Structure 1
Amino acid sequence: MSEPLYFQKHVFFCMNQRDDGRPCCTDHGAQAAQEHAKRRIKQMDMNGQGKIRINKAGCLDRCDEGPVMVIYPQGTWYTFVDQTDIDEIIDVDLVGGGIVKRLQLPNT
């Protein structure tokens, strides 16, 4: 029998900032999106051990597709444009266990 995961789901938002002119997630609203997700999960009382953790991450090496986020343990990658997209990811994936196909990035 396996032990329960410390977090049911762990969400990482790329916060990479590049200074060389190449695309980066920070230039496309990643900070505001991460803060919105963290606030909303906390308001829903879904944060903490055994629940959901919203984190900032360094470069996730997909900035050309960004902004990007990834949800573990399933390894689902998403892009997003605004808070409406973040809310849909929260409602469909984090709460409902589904996948938001229109925002999903390929795993390869």
Structure 2
Amino acid sequence: MNDTKPYYEHHVFFCMNEREGKDCRESCGAHGAEAAQKHAKKRVKELDLNGHGRVRINKAGCMDRCEEGPVLVVYPQGTWYTYVDNADIDEIIDRHIGKGEVVERLKI
């Protein structure tokens, strides 16, 4: 079977990496990544956007963009975002996932 359509229309990965130690680099986990990922997952379900052929919200390990974090990436487009709070996450969901618009102010 040669199906070129992606399994998910949008597959969103949140960096969840947490570093320990006083001399380590910044990490997304230390900047609310877990709460943001849970919020996004809940919001996508509330909007009935989740599931096969639609949207999947996942956790990821280090994405090596620590100094720009916290970060998430939306595939298959490969659009990288940073965020500060749930309002930023909602804007990414509403505009990028809902309307296909890149949220330039949050793009990295």
TM range (shorter): over 0.9
Residue 18 of structure 1 corresponds to 19
Within 5 Å, which residues of 2 pair with 1:1-108? 3-20=4-21, 21-105=24-108
Structure 2 gaps of 5+ residues are none
Give the TM-score normalised by structure 1: 0.93
Q: Secondary structure at the match of 1:13?
A: strand
Distance in 2 of aligned mates of 1:5 and 1:76: 16
| Distance apart, 1:101 and its partner CA | 0.5
Where 1:91 maps in the other structure, the secondary structure is helix
SS of the residue corresponding to residue 10 of structure 1 reads strand
* Structure 1 residue 13: Cα displacement: 0.1
For the residues of structure 1 that align with 2:59 and 2:3, how far apart are their CA atoms?
Answer: 28
The alignment partner of 1:102 has SS state of helix
CA–CA distance in structure 1, aligned partners of residues 4 and 69 of structure 2: 34
Counterpart residue type for residue 55 of structure 1: N
Following TM superposition, the consecutive aligned residue runs of length 4 or more in structure 1 with deviations greater than 4 angstroms are none
Q: Deviations over 1:12-69 (max 9, x none)?
A: 0000011133200011011111000000001111101000000000000101100000
**CA distance in structure 1 between the partners assigned to 2:34 and 2:66 by the alignment:** 14
Q: How far is 1:73 from its partner?
A: 0.3
**Counterpart amino acid of 1:61?**
D
Amino acid at match of 1:80: Y
Deviation at 1:3, TM superposition (A): 3.4
Where do 5+ consecutive residues of structure 1 fail to align?
Answer: none
Inter-partner Cα distance in structure 1 for 2:57 and 2:3 = 24
